[in-house]
Amino acid sequence: MAACCRKLSIMNIEEQSAVDLGRRIASGEVSSREVTQHYLDRIAEREPAVAAFTNLADDAVTTAEQADQQIASGQLRSPLAGVPVSIKDLLCTASLPTTCGSRMLREFHAPYTATAVQKLLDAGLVVVGKTNMDEFAMGGSTETGDGGATHNPWDRQRTAGGSSGGAAAALAAGMVPLSIGSDTGGSVRQPAAFCGVCGLKPTYGRISRYGLVAFASSLDQIGTLAHYVEDLAASLQIMAGHDPRDSTSLPDPTTEYLAHLDQPVQGLKVGVIREHIDNPGLDADIRDGVIRAQQALQELGAEIVEVHLPHTSHAVPTYYVIAPSEASGNLSRYDGVHYGFRQLGDSGAAAPLDAMISRSRSQGFGPEVKRRIMLGTFALSAGYYDAYYKKALQVRRLIAQDYGAAFEQVDLLLGPVTPTPAFGLGEKLDDPVQMYLQDLYTVGANLAGIPALSLPAGFNEQGLPLAIQLQGPALGEARLLSVAYQLQQQHFFEPRIAECS
């Protein structure tokens, strides 16, 4: 009888929040080993259809057993101790390969672990694997990576989004309760929206980037994906904080984000971004989702105010000058000399250094990465620097000023995450401009360095997830999370697990 009850205690476990799982593990109702094995079984069942992972951790069960032992001895290290987590495959992990979805790093094993990941390990979480992504995080559909495309669990003919598509799809399919991703121009929020889960991009510098393989250093930020807002808060609480190994890491004190989730919405001013809502390319169902969120906020006591971000139309072109320019410098280190993919002469014999570097880079990088390197190199070249990169930096300042002016009027901003629900696999691969325009509503937060959150907002008639976006001022994560948490209590914001049909 006891064994039967034990088995029942882990049924439907993927529908629970990571925080609830942590409580159950801490109380001894279930063990970390049982929870971890349950998710590993789910991965074995659903991974072939979804392709969310690049590598699985062989030591996950052993790590879970160690967590159980520490909890039993009274060493409860965090509210998420013993809870499984997946890591996007561009965060360095000493125990697993870090491929960045690229042939260039297919066999790369980092000699150290990223600060954010180490903080999760120190807090007692169990890493179950690394998730699939667009190559070097350059893409919006998780199709450009070395490991092939990830499929959206709600419709396997559609993209899971990108570049953290594997992280979002693993959650939507119920293969993991918590995923860590990265967001350079929307790479946490867009896949979260496409897969019907929550996604948080914190303030730039709120989480250390040490051990995050760089794409665009002034834009990259580590974020979390989860089914529940409380899980975003708990994971941020663990990962946030100053790191002397990251010069961009903020020295500001962190907040007990979980303890602030019940802050009242009453009296807050929420700005609806007029340029986003009035865009003729915005899907009608997504616009309706934003309106429903607006109504829900009013019922909670918030005041809705119309705000303007005048330079919205310049956000995408500004981003696609700055990000490729920084990428061209960051990716120059992959030359086939020190580490990573190396292509010698055609016969395998030694070749002149410049020829070896040329072969290694042309064969080690995929088309989208090479496109962005060339764009960035051109924008930084003599005669074009002032016309492109310098001008983009000036417009970036104007975009940040737009946000600053808006937050003088309101506490938070409300709008869409994406122009449309998840699009078909292969639909935009041959039209990079259309792919880039999917970032219209997300890149502004990265350019301004502010926190932003994607929250599920129901489904359309085709059964595809819809989402809304909340944005807050720098270091305003506590309020952002509390408003999102209370919105999620409204029934149409509840998360669901896909059947992977």
CA distance 222 to 160: 19
328 catalytic per annotation: no
> Tokens in use for 260?
């602030």
Written in H, E and C, the secondary structure of 90-156 is: CECCCCCCCCCCCHHHCCCCCCCCCHHHHHHHHCCCEEEEEECCCHHHCCCCCCCCCCCCCEECCEE
| Given the residues 88, 119, 130, 428, the one annotated as active site | 88
Can 9 be counted among the known catalytic residues?
no
C-alpha dihedral sign at 402, 446, 232, 275:
positive
Sheet of 198-201, strand order: 53-56, 126-131, 84-88, 178-182, 222-226, 198-201, 452-459, 465-471, 412-416, 269-273, 303-307
Per-position DSSP letters for 367-405, written without gaps between them: HHHHHHHHHHHHHHSTTTTIIIIIHHHHHHHHHHHHHHH
Pairing of strands 126-131, 84-88: parallel
> Does 163 sit behind a cis peptide bond, omega within 30 degrees of 0 on the bond before it?
yes
The one catalytic residue among 78, 141, 187, 360: 187
Alpha carbon separation from 338 to 105, 112, 333 (Å, rounded): 12, 17, 8
Active-site residue, 7 included: no
Comparing CA positions, the residue from 227, 240, 97 lying closest to residue 168 is: 227
Instruction: From the candidates 17, 78, 102, 163, give the one annotated as an active-site residue.
Output: 163
**Residues involved in catalysis:** 88, 163, 187
